[in-house]
Amino acid sequence: MTVDLTRIGKLHVGLVIAAGAMVAATQWGEPGSLILGGAVMGANFWLLHIIISALCRSAAHPDRQPQVTLGMVGMCLKLALFLGLLAALFMRLPIEGMSFAAGVTLLLVACVIEAARVERMRLKGVA
């Protein structure tokens, strides 16, 4: 059994919604900033998934060199785009930094939960 990226994405969305609702109910932070942080990481995760999928397909077929080049250009563009967008967001919008950081961290939490689930299933002997 391997880690399922689709499960990580779904778990991430659920965590962002739950955390946003909790922050809104308790007013311990800014729910909009938390959700924005989660959305930025979700979009980043989705783009990385697409780019890596293209690179893996091209690795299976070495005669497709242009796809490797396209994948690497896509990685560079994604990095520049996200850094530019984040800089613009922080300059233009009243984003609360700690809530944004909490939203960003929820993707890592989803990854750890999924990895722990897979490891637990492996230890149980479930294929």
**pLDDT tens sequence across 35-91:** 999 999 998 898 888 888 777 777 677 676 666 777 778 788 888 888 888 888 788
Is the pLDDT confidence value at 104 over 70?
A: yes
Q: What is the pLDDT of residue 8?
A: 94
Nearest to 2 by CA among 123, 120, 124, 115: 115
Q: What is the pLDDT of residue 102?
A: 96
For helices 97-124 and 5-26, angle between their N-to-C axes, nearest 10 degrees: 140
CA-angle at 34, arms to 11 and 106, nearest 5°: 30
**pTM across the whole model:** 0.81
